[in-house]
Chains A and B, each alone.
Chain A
C-alpha cells in the first residue's frame, strides 16, 4: 500500500514569493491534516479536512495561507506571500476517519526555506 505522498520534498524561495505544497493521502482515507513543524518542536495543526470539507482551520493564518482539497482526495497548501518565519517543514497526514481512535499516517514532509 502506498503511503502519503508529498511534493516537493524541498523548496527554497525568496520572501514575498508564493509557494504551494501538494499532498496525496492514502487511498480511502477521508481525513487529511496539514501540520507545520519547526525545528526541535512537535507538529502543529494548520487545517483538517473531512472529505472535501475543512472542518478545523482555526490555526491557519488566513491572511497568507490557503488550502483546498478538491474532490476529497488530493490537497494543496499555499502560502502567498511567504515570510522568513514560514521556514519550516510542512507535513501532510491522513487517517481513515470516522473515529478519533485512528492513527495518522504521515508523509515525508516538504522542507521550506524562505530567504
Chain B
C-alpha cells in the first residue's frame, strides 16, 4: 500500500521554468524525504525535512511541509533537461523506520 500520493502524476515544462510537485500523506510522520529516479542513476535521495520543520532548501530545491494538511511540496527552480526524472516522496511514520513511498510525479524538462 502507498501512503503518499504525488500530484501531478506527470508534468512537462520548458527548460528554465520552475517545477512544483506535491505530496499528500495520511498518517502522522517523523520526517518526509524526496527522492529522484531516472534510468541512469536509479533512486537518489534529494532532501529530508523533519516534522518540526516548515521549509528547507538545497541548491535549486525548496521543500515545504504542512503537517496540519499532511502535505509537502517540492519546488525545482530554473529546471534543466537533466532534471527529467520521476520524483517520489517517502514518509517515515512516527519513527517506525518504515518508509512508505508515494506514487511519484514524472517530470519532463524540454530543452
- Contact residue range for chain A? 20 to 34
How close is A13's CB to chain B, nearest CB, in angstroms?
22
B33 contacts chain A at the CB level, 8 A cutoff = yes
Which chain A residues (8-66) contact chain B, with CB distance < 8 Å?
Answer: 31, 33, 35, 40-45, 48, 55-56
Instruction: Confirm or deny: B48 has a beta carbon within 8 angstroms of a beta carbon on chain A.
Output: yes
| B4, B44, B95, B97: residue with the most chain A Cβ atoms closer than 10 Å | B97
Which residues of B from 42 to 88 have beta carbons under 8 Å from A? 42-45, 48, 50, 88
* CB proximity of A80 to chain B, nearest CB, Å: 25
Residues of chain A lying within 8 A (CB to CB) of residue B28? none
Is the CB–CB distance between A101 and B50 below 8 Å?
A: yes
Is the Cβ of B98 less than 8 Å from the Cβ of A56?
Answer: yes
Residues of chain A within 8 A (CB-CB) of B98 are: 45, 48, 56
